[in-house]
Structure 1
Amino acid sequence: MSLKVLIVEDEMIIARFIEYQLHSLYTGLESHIALSVDDVETYMEHNSPDLVLCDIQLNDRLDGIELMERYATKKLFSLVFITSYQSKNSIDRAAALNPENYIIKPLGENRLYAGTHMIIQRLQQQRNKNKALERLKTLTPSELNILKMIALRYTTKYIAETLFLSPYTVKNTRHRICRKLDLNEANNALLSWAIEHQHLLKF
């Protein structure tokens, strides 16, 4: 599942620039541009974004802060304000919504990267963790037990001897685990996955 990013910006050229830069910097993003308050309302009716990049100065019936106030308690998303406003008042108003960052225009690739990188990285890590946990739930207790031993770098022979199983049974179990985790069985993919996600396995 892709990370959903909503870009709220009433100038299409700037919105497209933001979208282009995000897709050039990160993989696995699903972006949507909202040019108006109505666009945001329509999007929010059917979607729950993971990250909202919102301009404060919208030429509309609401500014970006007022617009985000509508959704701050209804939707769970990370919020970054992007604006040319640098006044203390606007910063204080924005801060009341606990945004994760506040990026000042004019935008450039480096400024956008600095303002979004740690947030998107954290969101992607959490998404990957949730995905891994969901896949682990599909394993049987015996499959999970063997996966834990694989994470400890035990060989098929050692696992078989320890669990009083035949090596053939252990190999078949490894194949089933690979299918459930959607892994290619070549290049020690299962071992690499088990080591990488060892912190999710309860020993």
Structure 2
Amino acid sequence: MEIVIADDHPIFRSGLKFLLESSFEKVHVTDFDNGASVLLHLESHKPDLVFLDIDMPQKNGLDACAEIAKSFPDINVVILSMYKDVEMVKLAFFSGAKGYLVKDNTSEELVECILAIRQGKSYLAKDIRDPNRQELSENSDQLHIAELLNTLTQTELKVLKLVSQKYSSKEIANLLFVSVKSVENYRSRICKKLNLDARNNSLLMWVMENKSVVDRKDQQLKF
């Protein structure tokens, strides 16, 4: 397993690297002190997982996360920060993160997060998803939607965006230079990932109800 760490505190990086190498038998960890170096590294390497701090020089973790989601959508990103406020968590998931941990989480939770993401799931630190935190529960629907959108491929996101603009399958096919059957297959896969019934207009209804969240994904699309 290949893992990249980006954090501007060398002692924290060293500790996290040691923890990862102690927790998994076959793991190679590369570390950087800023987001810009991570993006440069990804041009020639394809790690399984990238851990990003938020506050870093040259390029912060959220901006780096958004660029990774756009340019390297197959690479999973976990934000690892001291911030516990819900707005920062929302920004992380809207930027394309698959997970969010805080730096005082246990080593057991770190391992739990990695295993969940390797299984294709999203992960949110336990103390942040505490149902007693009112400010988080009020935004839980948006967080859940952001997590669902993060499971879509770039092409599926493009189709979803065009559906939100009320294009027909034939029109979408022309815009994406694919067959109508391919568009229908994409729509079917999107519905499955969003837990929707593909046999009616549920996809259009869903995307219109959640258009504000879908629109936040625009910056990740490459038409």
1:122/1:93 Cα in 2 relative to 1: closer, same or farther (>3 Å)? closer
From 117, 120, 140, give the equivalent of 1:119: 117
Q: Which residue of 2 aligns with 1:146?
A: none
Please show how residues 137-156 of structure 1 align to structure 2 within 5 Å.
Answer: none
Q: Which residue of 1 aligns with 2:208?
A: none
The alpha carbon displacement at 1:106 in A equals: 2.1
From 83, 86, 90, give the equivalent of 2:84: 86
2:48 maps to amino acid: D
The alpha carbon displacement at 1:21 in A equals: 0.9
2:61 maps to amino acid: G
Q: Which residue of 2 aligns with 1:31?
A: 29
Distance 1:23 1:63 in 2: 25
Q: Which residue of 1 aligns with 2:65?
A: 68
Please show how residues 46-195 of structure 1 align to structure 2 within 5 Å.
Answer: 46-58=44-56, 60-75=57-72, 76-120=74-118
The alpha carbon displacement at 1:37 in A equals: 2.9
Distance 1:85 1:15 in 2: 17
Deviation per CA, 1:7-60: give whole Å up to 9, x if none. Answer: 1111111111111111111122121001123421331221111111111122x1
1:118 maps to amino acid: A
The alpha carbon displacement at 1:111 in A equals: 3.2
Distance 1:38 1:73 in 2: 15
TM score, norm. by length of structure 2:
0.49
1:85 maps to amino acid: Y
How many percent identity over aligned positions? 19
Greater Cα radius of gyration, structure 1 or 2: 1
Distance 2:90 2:40 in 1: 28
TM score, norm. by length of structure 1:
0.53
1:6/1:101 Cα in 2 relative to 1: closer, same or farther (>3 Å)? same
Distance 1:89 1:108 in 2: 23
Distance 1:61 1:87 in 2: 24
Equivalenced residues, count: 120
1:96 maps to amino acid: F
Q: Which residue of 2 aligns with 1:17?
A: 15
Moved over 6 A (4+): none
Instruction: Report the 3-state secondary structure (helix = DSSP H, G, I; strand = E; otherwise coil) of the residue aligned with 1:32.
Output: strand
Q: Which runs of 5+ in 1 are unaligned?
A: 124-203
Q: CA RMSD in A?
A: 2.1
Distance 1:26 1:97 in 2: 28
Deviation per CA, 1:83-107: give whole Å up to 9, x if none. Answer: 0111222111111134222111224
Is the CA contact (8 Å cut-off) linking 2:39 and 2:68 kept in structure 1? Answer: no
Is the CA contact (8 Å cut-off) linking 2:50 and 2:76 kept in structure 1? Answer: yes
2:54 maps to amino acid: I
Distance 1:121 1:25 in 2: 17
Deviation per CA, 1:91-126: give whole Å up to 9, x if none. Answer: 111111342221112244223223223334679xxx
Distance 2:13 2:106 in 1: 12
Instruction: Report the 3-state secondary structure (helix = DSSP H, G, I; strand = E; otherwise coil) of the residue aligned with 2:70.
Output: coil
1:42/1:22 Cα in 2 relative to 1: closer, same or farther (>3 Å)? same
1:20/1:122 Cα in 2 relative to 1: closer, same or farther (>3 Å)? farther
